[in-house]
Chain A
Amino acid sequence: MQSNDNNALPEIKDLLWQLLRGKHIDIEDPRYEEIENRFDEFSSILNALGFELIHDSLGFFYLKRHNKVEERTTSAKICTLFFVIVQRLQETREGDEVVDFSYLTDRRGFDLQYLISHSQIDDTLSRLLRDIDLVNDEKIEDTLDKMKQMNLVEKLPNGNWRFKRAVSRLERVATKFANFSEEEEE
């Protein structure tokens, strides 16, 4: 444990809470460096709470909780919405650019609310969203807001949504499925 003075806790308390609320603290956050410098200290506190502080090589911190699965619904909503977004981005992109992590994190962002509105997507995608209770555009926006709280996306002043680097976690989930085959599963 690194040495700290007794006044240090209030400073990091806010960061701890942000992490505990599921936020990904990325390199764009002014306090990212603080966690990096005091990683052991943060890690110890969070370990004691039953969490593991993960420092992703892409430049963000987040918490994991081993052996305790929580929030199935939120996870399903976020992942499915992400899959649908990628599918729609692939459908609507122009030129030969590949929809990958760099494309997603483009600083100009995307008009996600329009792109994945029930009025814009085909019946199958719409049904998939309705199946996870994203029955209307307001509910979709709620999930985007939740993703914003987690720092997976941010809303730009022009109304577009920009993916942050922590979305690489979702990208990894998706690429896991890229190698999926029915035979393998069976």
Chain B
Amino acid sequence: MSVRVREFIGLLQNNVELINEIAKLESHTISRKNVLNLITQLYSPSTLEILDNRVQRLSTSKPFPVLQYLDDTDEYLLAPKVANLILWLSNNLHLASHRIIKALISDIEDASQSIVKLMDEQPINLYLLRKRMDQLSTSNIELSECAGGNLRSIGTKVQEFKEEVLDFETKQIKARLLMDDHLTPMREIIDPDGPMINALESAARLLGDISARRTIPQIHREFSSNLQSKIINNQKSVRENHWSAYSQLQPILAPYLKPASDLVKGCSIALSLINKRGVKSVDLHEHFPVIKASRPNAIYDDEHFELWYQRNESREAYDDIISFVPGGSIPLNLDIPIISMAKKITQNGPTEDLLEFILSLDDYQMHTLTTCNNAVTDILIEINKFDRIQIGELREYTRNEETLEVRKIAVE
């Protein structure tokens, strides 16, 4: 990064509050007087020279002036690139957050308290009174602008939230953050019993008192009356705008603030994966195999069923080869029907040795020892009453050339 660029960015950083304020103004222009006032408020320069230097640096910066002085109107124009950058940042970084609104409310309260004190003194210091009313006016305008900025900021975040890659848990966290960091504080601020309404109502009451005091010159009373109307209007519009935004945003976040089942989480994660890597990456067919609904080459038809059925009816139990497909020969060893076998065993009463029992059945003489032993396990699981199972001593079982040494299992 070149020295010039670093200096330029440093200048922006040092004046970000000022630039942010000017960026929010219409046409990004501000009178010279107001620039000086703003700098005084924001940075409290100790001398006039320091204040002038700040303005000077901003208006002579390289590669282009941050603030361009317009001779004909005695105004400063904020460079459009800088204004756009700052607005973008303020939308994304929540520079106009509820905290600023809180600070402005605090300013309004301070100004109101000062006015109350001034009104109690005799004679009333009209200069200070006007100054405090000016403060109230400025804070009132800023409050309105900040509220707008904050709405944009929330709007941007929610839009991003809607468009982001789907992942339920992340969205839950983000929704909670948006709710906790923005919407809830905002709702608290604009609540009818909240600080904003309280501050503005008491300021408006105070201004009403000023405009009704005949001992105060007409010019101040009129100003006070106008400001009172502005504050009342502002209180209404800021509240209404926020409520309208809140009621639009809350339903978008609501699904993610509700408790989610594993089903919802799973669907969201699956969609997120599909979104990131494509549907093929998820191998859904392995999780949910689907049988073809039609067979264009008609491998199986009614005739095949009939043939297979007739053959099966006439076969002997030890027929180990059953050919179903015409022309071919498929070696088939029928599975041991676990469910019906478990039912039979529980109905028939105690079985002293389950494996021996299966091995003794005529239908399973062609099954291997391992298959029969696996069936024992499956049957035990199917019976699912382990208090009825007795594990006995080790025993050797043999079938053909296969030998297996396992514990004898009895079912009561």
Interface residues, chain A, with chain B CB atoms under 8 Å away: 1, 4, 6, 9, 13, 16, 20-22, 39-40, 43-45, 47-49, 51, 55, 63-65, 69-72, 74-76, 78-80, 82-84, 86-87, 90-93, 96, 98-101, 104, 122-125, 128, 131-132, 146, 149-150, 169-171, 173-178, 180
Interface centre among B162, B261, B310, B334 (most CB of A within 10 A): B261
> CA of A128 to CA of B312 in the docked complex: distance in angstroms?
49
User: Which residues in window 257-281 of B have CB below 8 A to A?
Assistant: 258-271, 273-275, 278-280
Q: Judging by beta carbons under 8 Å apart, are B265 and A69 in contact?
A: no
Name A124's contact: one of B275, B289, B294 (CB within 8 Å).
B275
Name B268's contact: one of A74, A87, A150 (CB within 8 Å).
A87
Contacts A22-B290, A44-B312, A71-B290 known; 9 new A-B pairs at CB < 8 A: A70-B291, A75-B285, A76-B284, A80-B279, A84-B267, A87-B271, A124-B166, A131-B274, A173-B288
List, in ascending order, chain A residues with CB within 8 A of B339's CB. 39, 55
Q: Judging by beta carbons under 8 Å apart, are A86 and B166 in contact?
A: no
List, in ascending order, chain A residues with CB within 8 A of B265's CB. 177-178
Q: Judging by beta carbons under 8 Å apart, are B289 and A48 in contact?
A: no
Q: Judging by beta carbons under 8 Å apart, are B273 and A47 in contact?
A: no
Q: Judging by beta carbons under 8 Å apart, are B263 and A76 in contact?
A: no
Interface residues, chain B, with chain A CB atoms under 8 Å away: 162-163, 165-166, 255, 258-271, 273-275, 278-280, 284-294, 300, 302, 305-306, 308-310, 312-313, 317, 322, 324, 330, 332, 334-335, 337, 339-340, 363
Give 19 A-B contacts (CB < 8 Å), ordered by A residue.
A22-B292, A22-B293, A40-B337, A45-B305, A47-B332, A48-B324, A63-B291, A69-B285, A72-B284, A72-B285, A75-B288, A79-B270, A79-B288, A80-B271, A90-B258, A124-B166, A173-B288, A174-B263, A175-B266
List, in ascending order, chain B residues with CB within 8 A of A123's CB. 163
With A39-B337, A47-B335, A174-B263 given, is the CB distance from A131 to B292 under 8 Å?
no
Name A78's contact: one of B163, B288, B305 (CB within 8 Å).
B288
Q: Judging by beta carbons under 8 Å apart, are B286 and A48 in contact?
A: no
Q: A-B contact count, CB below 8 Å?
A: 180
Minimum Cβ distance to chain A for residue B303 (Å): 11
Name A86's contact: one of B263, B285, B335 (CB within 8 Å).
B263
> CA of A51 to CA of B312 in the docked complex: distance in angstroms?
17
Minimum Cβ distance to chain A for residue B401 (Å): 26
Q: Judging by beta carbons under 8 Å apart, are A4 and B300 in contact?
A: no
Give the nearest-CB partner of A53 in chain B: B335
With A39-B337, A90-B264 given, is the CB distance from A20 to B288 under 8 Å?
no
> CA of A64 to CA of B290 in the docked complex: distance in angstroms?
8
List, in ascending order, chain B residues with CB within 8 A of A6's CB. 309-310, 313
With A71-B291, A122-B162, A177-B269 given, is the CB distance from A87 to B264 under 8 Å?
yes
With A47-B334, A90-B255, A173-B287 given, is the CB distance from A84 to B266 under 8 Å?
no
Minimum Cβ distance to chain B for residue A135 (Å): 14
> CA of A62 to CA of B332 in the docked complex: distance in angstroms?
21
List, in ascending order, chain A residues with CB within 8 A of B278's CB. 131
> CA of A174 to CA of B266 in the docked complex: distance in angstroms?
5
Interface centre among A84, A93, A173 (most CB of B within 10 A): A173
Q: Judging by beta carbons under 8 Å apart, are A20 and B300 in contact?
A: yes
Minimum Cβ distance to chain B for residue A17 (Å): 9
With A63-B291, A74-B290 given, is the CB distance from A13 to B284 under 8 Å?
no
Interface centre among B163, B270, B335, B339 (most CB of A within 10 A): B270
> CA of A62 to CA of B300 in the docked complex: distance in angstroms?
18
Q: Judging by beta carbons under 8 Å apart, are A128 and B274 in contact?
A: yes
Q: Judging by beta carbons under 8 Å apart, are A65 and B288 in contact?
A: no
Q: Judging by beta carbons under 8 Å apart, are B279 and A43 in contact?
A: no
Name A173's contact: one of B284, B313, B334 (CB within 8 Å).
B284
Q: Judging by beta carbons under 8 Å apart, are B269 and A180 in contact?
A: yes
List, in ascending order, chain B residues with CB within 8 A of A128's CB. 271, 274-275, 279
List, in ascending order, chain B residues with CB within 8 A of A171's CB. 263
Q: Judging by beta carbons under 8 Å apart, are B335 and A43 in contact?
A: yes
Minimum Cβ distance to chain A for residue B354 (Å): 19
> CA of A55 to CA of B285 in the docked complex: distance in angstroms?
20
Q: Judging by beta carbons under 8 Å apart, are A69 and B334 in contact?
A: no
> CA of A40 to CA of B411 in the docked complex: distance in angstroms?
23
> CA of A13 to CA of B274 in the docked complex: distance in angstroms?
39
Minimum Cβ distance to chain B for residue A171 (Å): 6
Q: Judging by beta carbons under 8 Å apart, are A49 and B300 in contact?
A: yes
Name B285's contact: one of A21, A76, A124, A174 (CB within 8 Å).
A76
Q: Judging by beta carbons under 8 Å apart, are A100 and B340 in contact?
A: no
List, in ascending order, chain A residues with CB within 8 A of B302's CB. 13
List, in ascending order, chain B residues with CB within 8 A of A150's CB. 290
Interface centre among A55, A75, A125 (most CB of B within 10 A): A75
With A13-B305, A48-B330 given, is the CB distance from A86 to B288 under 8 Å?
no
Q: Judging by beta carbons under 8 Å apart, are A83 and B270 in contact?
A: yes
List, in ascending order, chain A residues with CB within 8 A of B255's CB. 90-93
Q: Judging by beta carbons under 8 Å apart, are B322 and A48 in contact?
A: yes
